[in-house]
Amino acid sequence: MNKIVAMAAKDIHILFRDKLGFFFTIFFPLMMAIFFGAMFAGLSRGPASIPIALVDADRTAGSARFVGRLEAAGGLAIERIPGDQALEQVRRGQTAVLVTLRPGFGAALDNPFVATPEVEMSVDPTQFAAAGMVRGVLLEAAGAELQAFMSDPSRMSVTNEQNRRLIEEFSPPSEARDDLLNVLDQIPRIPVLIDEAGLGSVTTGATGGFGPPLEIEQTQVQAQRRGPTNSYATSFAQAMLWTLIGGSVSFSMSIAIERSRGTLMRLLVAPITARQLLAAKGLACLGATLFTSSALITLGITVFGVTPTSYPLLALALLSGSICFCGIMMVLSVIGRTEQAAAGVGWGIALPFTMLGGGMVPLFLMPEWMQTLGNISPMKWTLIAYEGAIWRGFTLSEMLLPCAVLVAIGVLAFSIGATRLRWDTG
């Protein structure tokens, strides 16, 4: 065992002394993580409009007018769908906010002296920023609606007449009833009085002495997390995949390098067995990829705010991914017998599989057929396992499939590589 560890330690030592190899193993993936993370973060910061689901439970001319005003205001992409479906969309994280116009909304909008229009906002708790913006747009629209009401004496007269009839019908004669009716008589004159008082220019948008133009009740929806909450969660998963690819290609080259530099001859005449030599190569690859991928995600967690949904499952994913690429390393070693061939074959095989497996463009952005085709790529299973632990919120049973696939690929590939590897020195 000591000899295996000594050989593995030597290989890892050499890998980290090789500046180019070290760059491709850890810095290149890190740069990708930061680049794509920043890119997707930038995309998510500045959308043209915030997608919301809207349910009009009032279904009156007033509520329809308010929705029209929201649509005209811009800033919101409104999808009008049934209530249950809309709530489910928020739960799944597909929509940030569900806005429900409650019954009586239109009546309150048309009669602000009696009631305040009520709206319910059902919010994905991870989308508070978007919810705040939606709240602002709603209030702005309601304010505009109130201003339009206050600026239209004919609408106010109609409303006053309705209110007068209500008072006269339900309130017995009294001094208070008379005062209230007098106030109602003065209300249509308010715009004229404002103009006469020279205040026309300073009251635009004002709601006069009324309270908030809209009453918003906000509730949180327990979201089923279906997407990364942090753009770096995606990019760091990809970066960790790249460390595995870089590590496996580097180690596949190491056997060719040992052969061309003559050190393989020294190893073969040393008192070690072929199995020990293979085990050392495998251990070195496993250790290096495990270390670099762990280092990357640690950086992602501590510096870039990546929050894995499960640390034990993350550890399982890291180990499974490293085992898989350890096997891939052995197969690449067999195919490429010289340094140049090993490098060419390694990257030549790795890149297409990586593209297909979501290593360059996130899987969830790919078309359905491409995601299906990607099942043949070990890179895809690695990403599924990583993402499952980082942001997909996999359970143990959900994680078992990708991890089992990875370990199976690793063991099979290592076995094929080990049996086909020729230990000749020339």
Partner 1 sequence: MLVFDHVSKCFGDLRAVDDLSFELEAGEVFGLLGPNGAGKTTAINMAVGLLEPDEGVVRFADEAFDRNPRDAENRRSLGLAPQSIALYEQISGADNLRFFGRLHGLRGSDLEERVAACLDFADLVDVGKKVVSKYSGGMQRRLNLAVAIIHDPELVLLDEPTVGVDPQSRNAIFERVEQLRDEGKQVVYTTHYMEEAQRLCDRVAILDRGRLMALDTVPALITAHGGPGNLVVRTGDGESRHETTDPLATLAELQASQTVDHFQYLPPDLETVFLNLTGRALRD
Buried b or exposed e, range 392-402, using 16+ CB within 10 angstroms: bbbeeeebeeb
Options 94-102, 105-113, 259-267, 351-359: segment touching partner 1 (CB under 8 A): 259-267
Q: How far is the CB of 2 from partner 1 (least distance, A)?
A: 7
**Residue 419 interacting with partner 1 (CB under 8 A):** no
**Residue 18 interacting with partner 1 (CB under 8 A):** yes
- Considering beta carbons, is residue 3 or 155 the nearer one to partner 1? 3
**Residue 225 interacting with partner 1 (CB under 8 A):** no
**Residue 423 interacting with partner 1 (CB under 8 A):** yes
**Residue 360 interacting with partner 1 (CB under 8 A):** no
Q: How many residues does the chain have?
A: 426
Options 94-102, 263-271, 338-346, 385-393: segment touching partner 1 (CB under 8 A): 263-271
Closest alpha carbon to 381 in 360, 346, 414, 409? 409
Q: Binding residues for partner 1, how many (CB under 8 A)?
A: 24
**Residue 367 interacting with partner 1 (CB under 8 A):** no
Of the candidate residues 60, 151, 203, 263, the single one contacting partner 1 (CB under 8 A): 263
Of the candidate residues 173, 198, 209, 262, the single one contacting partner 1 (CB under 8 A): 262
- Considering beta carbons, is residue 279 or 313 the nearer one to partner 1? 279
Of the candidate residues 7, 290, 330, 363, the single one contacting partner 1 (CB under 8 A): 7
With beta carbons less than 8 A apart as the criterion, state whether 399 and 338 touch: no
- Considering beta carbons, is residue 237 or 249 the nearer one to partner 1? 249
**Residue 14 interacting with partner 1 (CB under 8 A):** yes
Of the candidate residues 107, 267, 401, 416, the single one contacting partner 1 (CB under 8 A): 267
Q: Token match 């997707």: residue?
A: 40
Q: How far is the CB of 269 from partner 1 (least distance, A)?
A: 5
- HEC profile for the chain? CHHHHHHHHHHHHHHHHCHHHHHHHHHHHHHHHHHHHHHHHHHHHCCCCEEEEEEECCCCHHHHHHHHHHHHHCCEEEEECCHHHHHHHHHCCCCCEEEEECCCHHHHHHCCCCCCCEEEEEECHHHHHHHHHHHHHHHHHHHHHHHHHHCCHHHHHHHHHHHHHHHHHHCCCCHHHHHHHHHHHHHHHHHHHHHHCCCHHHCCCCCCCCCCCCEEEEEECCCCCCCCCCHHHHHHHHHHHHHHHHHHHHHHHHHHHHHHHCHHHHHHCCCCCHHHHHHHHHHHHHHHHHHHHHHHHHHHHHHCCCCCCCHHHHHHHHHHHHHHHHHHHHHHHHHCCCHHHHHHHHHHHHHHHHHHCCCCCCHHHCCHHHHHHHHHCHHHHHHHHHHHHHCCCCCHHHHHHHHHHHHHHHHHHHHHHHHHCCCCCC
Q: How far is the CB of 8 from partner 1 (least distance, A)?
A: 11
Options 9-17, 37-45, 220-228, 340-348: segment touching partner 1 (CB under 8 A): 9-17
Of the candidate residues 74, 261, 352, 412, the single one contacting partner 1 (CB under 8 A): 261
- Considering beta carbons, is residue 3 or 65 the nearer one to partner 1? 3
- Binding residues for partner 1 restricted to 268-327, rule: CB under 8 A: 268-274
Options 10-18, 59-67, 369-377, 380-388: segment touching partner 1 (CB under 8 A): 10-18
**Residue 3 interacting with partner 1 (CB under 8 A):** yes
**Residue 10 interacting with partner 1 (CB under 8 A):** yes
Options 207-215, 224-232, 267-275, 347-355: segment touching partner 1 (CB under 8 A): 267-275
Of the candidate residues 17, 176, 198, 211, the single one contacting partner 1 (CB under 8 A): 17
- Considering beta carbons, is residue 270 or 404 the nearer one to partner 1? 270
How far apart are the C-alpha atoms of 80 and 20, rounded to whole Å? 55
State the residues that interact with partner 1 by CB under 8 A.
2-3, 6-7, 10, 13-14, 17-18, 261-263, 265-274, 423, 425
